[in-house]
Amino acid sequence: MGNVLVIDDDAAVCDALSELLSHMGHIVDTAMRRESGLEQATSHAYDVILLDVKMPDGNGLDLLPRLKALPSDPEVIIVTGYGTAKAAEFALKNGAWDYLEKKASVEELIASINRAFHYQKEKRGSEPLAPVKRERIIGNSPNMRPCFDLLAQAAASEVNVLITGETGTGKELFARAIHTNSPRAAHGTVAAAPLKRNPRAEKNFVVVDCAALPETLVESVLFGHEKGAFTGADQAQDGLVAQADGGTLFLDEVGELPLPVQKNFLRVLQEKRYRPVGSKRERKSNFRLVAATHRDLDQLQQDDMFRQDLLFRLRALTIELPPLRDRREDIKELVRHHTARLCRSYKMGPKEFAPDLLEALMSYPWPGNVRELVNTIDSMLAVAGQDSTLFPKHLPLHIRVKIVCNSFKGQGSEPETEPPCTDASATEVESLVSFKEYRMKAEKKYLEDLMAGTCRNIAKACKISGISRSRLYELLTKHQIGDPAEDNASQQAG
């Protein structure tokens, strides 16, 4: 028996789920609005929460990070009548237990609920993970807490970790924290079986900047080389893989790793053995791998720029770091921390913050994330000099302009004067056709080129265009391009 909260704006759904869950022996509460659901979840401890998406007072998915941050740590099952792939991805990335459509069978819903309760029971009976040292990772917003949970899990294991996120979100800080809290660091906080270590590599955290690897010397930098292996190799030298023996090898911007090296590195990752350039024998390196990237590795793999088998190896455990604009609750703490740190570094007195400065910093979107914020603080301190209080006037000009421009949006105000149009002359504008007509012409031209280029081979045309056979026939008929019936008959005969 457990405690369940149903958050759904449909009274019939609430009644049906309440009856079902009560028959299963659970204590059930319901809420028909998003905010009242959050209030109940905050004031009572629930094991499982069933959450709808479309609510009269907003999107139910917006509650997910806040529900998962509650002390009771409930399992949240999304039950929606409007399921989409994008919403499902968001839900699962933010800690949802499951994502179900309301048309799912009762058996499927019951199975998901039972699994969630089983997991909750086991979780309560297991020992909690040891607390982790965050080093310089600042913030405790709801969107960061799942990242810290995964950090603790990664530190307690030897699994390969892939850290993703926009540039400047702190991927290397997370990688270092995984190493620091692992048994591979001298004072790791997580107990584990002893590792065979190379004394020279004790505590090693070796960074490989894949974006900066010289193309002609990639293998030498990674695997080392023997004396005379190539011009200029006047002595043998260990590579970064050897230096990471017993420690952690961090592949920063792994998406930039050249394809030929990806193949070689995959074997090194599997066997923990490598061959220096020019050597006749292999060597061992007992390293733990952590990789990071700001790029979409799935898209790179689809574009044949990243090996699928290596991708599977890299992301045994994935930590996706949120951009700063999605964790604004942390901005004030970040500002205070880094301002104090930089003031100490520059031997400056402490600084106060004008309220409107903190409001301005909270309103800016920070496309460069935490890295941009730190650089901005550095710039402000240089401009402020001995001033004891920081004001918006100390901000870099481009940020001040952006903040002011953003304040105009959504106010319904029109510009005082319309800027002159310089992109096209009046004659060019008059010659433009409607978008529908333009699209029809472009579509016909593409189909004509496609059929000419494939010698009217329908199978080949479908493969190149990605259009299904039935849809291609429909388009050819629509634009009166040849006789699709004859094409079909001739290819069947062939």
* Lookup result for tokens 């005379």: 228
Instruction: Please measure the distance between the N-terminal and C-terminal CA atoms of the chain and give it in whole angstroms.
Output: 67
Tell me, rounded to whole angstroms, the distance of Cα 110 from its chain centroid.
Answer: 31
Q: Is the dihedral of CA 35, 15, 120, 75 positive or negative?
A: negative
Predicted confidence band of residue 484 (pLDDT cuts 50, 70, 90) = low
Strands 273-274 and 283-284: antiparallel
Give the residue with greater pLDDT, 8 vs 196: 8
Q: Is the dihedral of CA 132, 133, 137, 142 positive or negative?
A: positive
Q: Measuring CA to CA, how many Å separate 362 from each of 173, 330, 333, 335?
A: 23, 9, 11, 10
The closest of 465, 469, 471, 462 to 488, measured between CA atoms, is 469
CATH for the stretch 145-320: 3.40.50.300
Average pLDDT for residues 468-486, to the nearest whole number? Answer: 79
| Secondary element (H or E) of residue 430 | helix 426-431
Whether 196 shows a pLDDT value over 90: the answer reads no
Query: Are 376 and 396 contacting, i.e. CB atoms less than 8 angstroms apart?
Result: yes
Residue 386, Ramachandran bin (φ over 0: left; ψ between -120 and 50: alpha; else beta): alpha
Question: Which residues are CB-contacts of 148 (< 8 A; sequence separation ≥ 6)?
Answer: 132, 134
**pLDDT one-digit tens code per residue, 73-124:** 899 999 998 888 889 988 988 889 999 998 888 889 999 999 999 888 887 7
- CATH 1.10.8.60 for domain 327-407: yes
Helix locations, 75-163, DSSP H: 85-93, 106-125, 145-155
Please indicate whether the domains covering 145-320 and 327-407 agree at the CATH topology level.
no
Q: What is the mean pLDDT of the chain?
A: 85
The CB-based long-range contact list for 186-190 (8 Å cut-off, 24+ gap) reads: 188/155, 189/130, 189/131, 189/132, 189/133, 189/155, 190/129, 190/130, 190/155, 190/156
Other residues' Cβ atoms within 10 Å of the Cβ of residue 490? 13
Predicted confidence band of residue 369 (pLDDT cuts 50, 70, 90) = very high
**pLDDT one-digit tens code per residue, 289-346:** 999 999 999 999 999 999 999 999 998 899 999 999 999 999 999 999 999 999 999 9
Structural domain boundaries of the chain?
A: 3-125, 145-320, 327-407, 435-493
Q: How far apart are CA 252 and CA 205, in angstroms?
A: 12
* Architecture category of domain 3-125 in CATH: 3-Layer(aba) Sandwich (3.40)
The closest of 28, 33, 30, 41 to 9, measured between CA atoms, is 33
Q: How far apart are CA 289 and CA 154, in angstroms?
A: 11
Q: How far apart are CA 461 and CA 456, in angstroms?
A: 7
**pLDDT one-digit tens code per residue, 24-63:** 889 999 999 999 999 999 999 999 999 999 999 889 999 9
